[in-house]
Amino acid sequence: MPKDIVASNNNIFRDLRTKLEDGRRQLFENAVSQLAEWLKSDRAYYAEAKPQIIDLIEVFDDRR
């Protein structure tokens, strides 16, 4: 995976985590929807992304 794409995706993951942790329901729901869309793509599951995806799912589980 090209480094610029990985860096861009890292920013997306960071933003999603921030929204999941924010505490405002609307931001949480928006982040969950964005993550669900992301996970529909086979391209989402590259090696560097998997730990971050797991982290986001754990944050989601802790906050729901």
pLDDT in tens, 6-38: 999 999 999 999 999 998 999 999 999 999 998
- Residue 3, classified by CB atoms within 10 Å of its CB into exposed (0-12), middle (13-18) or buried (19+), is exposed
- Residue 16 contacts residue 44 (beta carbons within 8 Å): no
**Total domain count, the chain:** 1
| pLDDT on residue 63 | 84
Question: ∠42-54-33 over CA atoms, to 5°?
Answer: 65
Range of the domain at 49: 3-63
